[in-house]
């Protein structure tokens, strides 16, 4: 019997998850395993998730716009998914039930530690640009890591306030975009959690001169690999971390749960994905 896993989304053709997981399947010589794309319309998402086994899938990844639907549909969740009320990984437990997990925050932290090994969470506040879905996972992960203060800069303060309230963040503050420069003062980390800077989007338009020189700058955008924000930060002397590693690292826990082998994010895998993106 083939152990099939899929990524569920709408649209989903752009996903690199099959490339990543099928690379690991081949690397670890896992027999009778395959990772597929599954395009699912929003109105069909709950039914599809409930009946993954009928479709012969032993697990799945979930991408936009179905992460919240997956959480609402499943009755079992790990602690992170419960907190975020969003699921990006579905695992079959020993008793045959499906559990929703969320590895987005794990992927962010693993990528940050991989790209900036000297980063110390307790050394200073983290400034986050944006308060969307990615920001929720990242904020929760930063607090768990021990960042003393999370400064959320968002065009709509009410949305940032809702994020803090929903997650129960104890050390987070809201900063309007007009006060970005003040928010950067004394920070140890700057994170762009928005799509600004992505190919086809406008760039992150902030003055980073107030950011301490030893602060690290990272971006969840990976097309282009070096966004305008990362380029300006690099030229100003900051250590920078691109967003591709978050995509790769968030896939690790799911693969281990489905196939019993913990894969590694390697330079070879990065190059394979970059080539597929046309950026090699």
Q: Is 67 a catalytic residue?
A: yes
The residue from 67, 82, 85, 113 that is catalytic is 67
H/E element holding 240?
Answer: strand 239-241
Q: Looking up tokens 């925050």, which residue turns up?
A: 105
Tokens of 110: 């693993």
- State the Cα–Cα distance between residues 33 and 22, nearest whole angstrom: 8
| Of 264, 91, 105, nearest in space to 193 by CA | 105
| Of 82, 83, 89, nearest in space to 66 by CA | 89
Q: 276: how many CB neighbours lie within 10 A of its CB?
A: 12
- State the Cα–Cα distance between residues 251 and 135, nearest whole angstrom: 18
Active site members: 67
């Amino acid at each position: 019997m083939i152990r099939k896993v899929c990524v569920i989304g709408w649209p989903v053709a752009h996903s690199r998850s099959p490339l990543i997981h099928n690379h690991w399947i081949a690397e670890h010589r896992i027999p009778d395993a395959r990772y597929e794309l599954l395009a699912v319309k929003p109105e069909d998402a709950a039914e599809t998730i409930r009946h993954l086994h009928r479709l012969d899938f032993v697990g799945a990844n979930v991408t936009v716009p179905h992460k919240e639907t997956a959480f609402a549909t499943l009755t079992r969740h790990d602690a992170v998914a419960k907190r975020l009320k969003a699921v990006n990984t579905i695992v079959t437990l020993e008793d045959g039930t499906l559990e929703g997990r969320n590895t987005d925050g794990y992927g962010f932290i693993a990528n940050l530690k991989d790209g900036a090994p000297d980063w110390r969470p307790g050394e200073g506040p983290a400034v986050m640009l944006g308060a969307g879905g990615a920001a929720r996972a990242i904020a929760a992960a930063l607090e768990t890591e021990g960042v003393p203060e999370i400064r959320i800069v968002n065009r709509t303060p009410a949305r940032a306030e809702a994020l803090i309230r929903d997650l129960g963040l104890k050390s987070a503050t809201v900063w309007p975009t007009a006060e970005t420069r003040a928010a950067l003062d004394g920070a140890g980390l700057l994170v762009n959690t928005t799509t600004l800077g992505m190919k086809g989007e406008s760039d992150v338009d902030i003055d980073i001169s107030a950011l301490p020189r030893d602060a690290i700058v990272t971006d969840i955008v990976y097309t282009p690999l070096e966004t305008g924000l990362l380029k300006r930060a690099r030229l100003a002397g900051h250590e920078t971390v691109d967003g591709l590693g978050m995509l790769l690292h968030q896939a690790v826990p799911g693969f281990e749960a489905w196939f019993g082998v913990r894969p590694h994010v390697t330079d070879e895998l990065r190059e394979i994905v970059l080539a597929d993106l046309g950026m090699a």
